[in-house]
Structure 1
């Protein structure tokens, strides 16, 4: 990963990937493919498992590239309410729990055991 980062930095400084030497470009390509394969295999063996409801919601936000504002709108709740629930300042209500099940497809059994 360190070599990949160094090659990416060099490419940026030179003005693009096409400015790298062929050997550097080939190395970057090979290392990038290896890193991607490794990540795919690790995720297959050790998927990310949230430990609580907040982590589950935040994981779904990352997966779906949602901001809190967009998520609040999708769930049909006010943004401040979502913020308070995610920060632990407010307990999730039934409407919120139903919405994250319906809209984010968070498993009902997980919700019941972590709410």
Structure 2
């Protein structure tokens, strides 16, 4: 666990050094060390410099689709709406109805509190 900004900076330098060598050129021990360092750095960043939450429902959906590697036309089907309705919602030309919002929570596994703060 990283306890200070100085330790974080050193960790990032070591990560950078290992990454510059390329994953294929690292030993099994170095790969394991890289994984541990990356997890520790991420935990420190989440605690001390968290990423801001998206400010709109459309941003939340876009980010989640990227994370899940889902295209918009598949997302529309998954969420139970037509491609046209999905496009209108994503472009801010139509407000989402409760069934759409519920589908975002259930089908895309987006926290309901995050959704409520965005709408």
- 2:107 maps to 103
Matched length = 102
CA gap 1:62/1:94 in 2 versus in 1, 3 angstroms: same
Q: Could you list the per-position Cα deviations for residues 77-107 of structure 1 after superposition, in whole angstroms to 9, with x for gaps in the alignment?
A: 1111111001000000011001001011111
- 2:62 maps to 58
TM-score where L is the length of structure 2: 0.59
Higher RCO, Cα 8 Å, sep 6+:
2
- The alignment status of 1:78 with 2:60, answered yes or no, reads no
Could you tell me whether the CA contact under 8 Å between 2:54 and 2:118 is conserved in 1? Answer: no
Rg larger for: 1
* Aligned-pair Cα RMSD in Å: 3.1
Q: Could you list the per-position Cα deviations for residues 33-78 of structure 1 after superposition, in whole angstroms to 9, with x for gaps in the alignment?
A: x99x8678646x4235211111111110000011110111111111
Q: Could you list the per-position Cα deviations for residues 8-39 of structure 1 after superposition, in whole angstroms to 9, with x for gaps in the alignment?
A: xxxxxxxxx9xxxxxxxxxxxxxxxx99x867
TM-score where L is the length of structure 1: 0.61
Could you list the structure 1 runs, at least 4 aligned residues long, displaced by more than 6 angstroms after superposition: 37-40
Counterpart of 2:73 in 1: which secondary structure? Answer: helix
Counterpart of 2:70 in 1: which secondary structure? Answer: coil
Gaps of 5+ in 2: 1-23, 25-36
